[in-house]
Structure 1
């Protein structure tokens, strides 16, 4: 069976950081071809927080860069397609799934509210930190219930799903990756 996982990183959270790094390793272990998209911005994530105009601008920049990278890819040759997104990457993954009519399953790490505008009902799993300043927990809970997406919440965790305690983070990371590994097997 041909399987592919496409990684959509965040603005400052690249694919060598823990969530995406281990998700990629688990994907490869499960027999997925892994493709990483990359995008660059002329500003940092914290510079656009709470600025809807600049956030939209960043999204459009990333869309153009991803189109160049995925433009020639034919997803219909794969029997299983998983998009793995982090932060703005979750919104971009949902957008490309919708625009290209891929029908991808989704691993959603720390969504931004805009992610829920495009993500398909029942298409994946969502991980959210209860101290994430980018997406209010009430929004994540409401939208995940509405879209029938399992929501895994991490106590005291920020937008990187990290807390102040590194040992707690390692424990949380293992728990998160166990859920992701189960998802690859579905």
Structure 2
């Protein structure tokens, strides 16, 4: 069985950061080939965070991502998962359609941004969010959890955009572990 995991980073949250590093590591342990995307240094160091500021950055990231994936023989894979963080969640959802993979991809969305929420009804997968995320209003997180309980992987009370609480290193590590365990369960059942 051929399996593929594509890792979609966020702004400033590259594939070497804990949530993406350890989820990619778990996917590799479960026999998935790993593709780690890179949008370019200018995007990884971008400082804007409003939806209006992020929209052109998302479009540019997609433009840069497509060439990284153009030679991937998606039809040869029995299982494909998109593991994403922050703006990567919107990029992953848009690329599922652009690459004509609708219904063939499992999405694993960590700390989605508001523009990702419109895709929840169409995806096969889970999302994870913190209630103290400055880029996603808590009311939207709870509404998404109510509207899509089967796609709610976890809501982390009081946690920020990295699913951490300031001054709680052990809690942050526990959250990473919970995320990785959820991914492991998803990969095992795929």
Q: Same fold per TM (> 0.5)?
A: yes
Q: 1:145 to 1:98 in 2, by over 3 A?
A: farther
Equivalent residue number for residue 137 of structure 1: 138
Aligned residues: 184
Equivalent residue number for residue 172 of structure 2: 169
Equivalent residue number for residue 35 of structure 2: 35
1:77-116 counterparts in 2 under 5 A?
A: 77-102=76-101, 103-116=104-117
Q: Residue 114 of structure 1: CA displacement? A: 0.8
* 1:12 paired to 2:12: yes
* 1:184 paired to 2:184: no
Secondary structure of the corresponding residue to residue 92 of structure 2: helix
* 1:72 paired to 2:107: no
Aligned equivalents of 2:21, 2:49: Cα separation in 1: 25
Structure 1, gaps ≥5 residues long: none
- 1:71-112 deviations in whole A, cap 9, x for unaligned? 222211101000000000010000001222212101111000
Q: Residue 145 of structure 1: CA displacement? A: 4.0
Secondary structure of the corresponding residue to residue 154 of structure 2: strand
Deviates more, 1:131-140 or 1:18-27: 131-140
Secondary structure of the corresponding residue to residue 42 of structure 1: helix
State the superposition RMSD in angstroms: 1.7
Deviates more, 1:159-168 or 1:170-179: 170-179
Q: 1:138 to 1:51 in 2, by over 3 A?
A: closer
Equivalent residue number for residue 156 of structure 1: 158
Aligned equivalents of 2:126, 2:174: Cα separation in 1: 19
Taking structure 2 as the reference length, what is the TM-score of the superposition? 0.89
Does structure 2 retain, via aligned residues, the 8 Å contact 1:95–1:119? no
- 1:25-75 deviations in whole A, cap 9, x for unaligned? 100111100011110253644x312251x2111011101100111122221
Structure 2, gaps ≥5 residues long: none
Does structure 2 retain, via aligned residues, the 8 Å contact 1:98–1:119? no
